[in-house]
Amino acid sequence: MPEWMSLPPGPLTDWIYTIVGLVLLLLAGDSLVKGAVNLSLRLGVPALIVSLTIVAFGTSAPELLISIQAIWDDVPDLALGNVVGSNTANVLLVLGVPALLAVMHTSQCDTRASYLQMIGATVLFIALAYRGVYDWIAGLILLAALAAMLIHAALAARTHRKSDAGDDDEDLEGADPDLPWSKIILFLILGLIGLPLGASLLVDGASNIARDYGVSDAVIGLTLVAIGTSLPELATTVMAALRRQADVALGNVIGSNMFNLLGIIGVASLVGNIPVSPNFFAFDFWVMLAASLLLIPFVYLRQDLTRVWGVALSVAYIAYLWVVL
């Protein structure tokens, strides 16, 4: 982090860095998404592609920068724990909490193709972990799978646009066709500056807290950092639930989870090797997979995400944190 931001070392300083880092990530992630969405609309990119790619990547950008920074700081367990924990949080917390506020009519959504891709990405991710390390080979495989997913999304979007003359740009969160170019550029700059700065502060603070309390880097990544970097998804999903946009809520979680597994670890593996701790095979990978399978009723069985489901998912996440800690 910049030398001018350094504070005297100590437990209080670590918590200040962590909290400030979380706030910066939330604000910068929101700024980047707004800038990217409006830039894409100005350039004439279809709204569906923006939702599946730029918005999903924007809300996953904190995880990407956290993972890269963790590898540079020689705490790879934090990088892997961040992604695995974020995917678990995305299903149990990011869908559970908004469902407590408003029923999401997921029975009206058709996310089967994207959901199958997410399950495939999860299985591929775990299969590559049996090699013992995510190296450049694993990284290229994951990025190739991400490229295939993006190509499929682009083709599906083009087909949709040809069959539907309606314009759904206004359904995108943060979209403003009249937003000046100066504000679009400002949003992008603030996001691109704030995300790495927030990532640096959060990794430094969280790593020191882990050492101070004798907690492993993997556990900190699975809990504190994972929740912090899931805040952009949580904010987006809460707004989608309140506006009765179940497709946005469910699509946000599915898209973000695919980016986390394929894009973040894919890129991070090219930066440096990520050894896989046996603890991930003992518990965390399978919780992540089980959480992903919990979406089957909403994707295939036409179930609405009611408040009862919201309570169940939220309680499941609290139980998960209890076991991890």
Spell out the alpha helix ranges (H) of the chain.
Answer: 11-43, 47-49, 56-72, 76-92, 96-101, 112-129, 136-163, 181-213, 217-220, 226-229, 231-242, 246-258, 265-271, 278-279, 285-293, 296-299, 307-324
Separation between Cα atoms, residue 174 and residue 186, nearest integer Å? 14
- Residue 195's Cβ-side half-sphere holds a number of Cα atoms within 13 Å equal to 24
The SS3 call for residue 305 is: strand
Return the CA Rg of the chain.
19
Alpha-carbon distances of 40 from 4, 121, 160, rounded to whole Å: 36, 26, 18
Nearest to 14 by CA among 206, 258, 282, 192: 206
Predicted TM-score (pTM) of this structure: 0.78
Alpha-carbon distances of 74 from 69, 79, 163, 245, rounded to whole Å: 9, 10, 50, 41
The per-residue pLDDT string of the chain (325 residues; one tens digit each, 9 = 90 and over) reads: 455 455 556 678 888 888 898 888 778 877 877 777 787 777 766 555 666 666 677 777 778 888 888 899 888 888 899 899 999 999 999 899 888 888 888 777 777 888 999 999 999 999 999 999 999 999 999 999 999 988 887 787 677 666 654 455 555 556 677 788 999 889 888 888 887 788 778 877 887 887 788 887 778 888 878 887 777 777 777 777 776 777 677 877 888 899 999 999 999 999 999 999 998 999 999 999 999 999 999 888 888 889 999 999 999 999 998 888 7
The SS3 call for residue 187 is: helix
Spatial contact of 259 and 130, defined as CB atoms under 8 Å apart: no
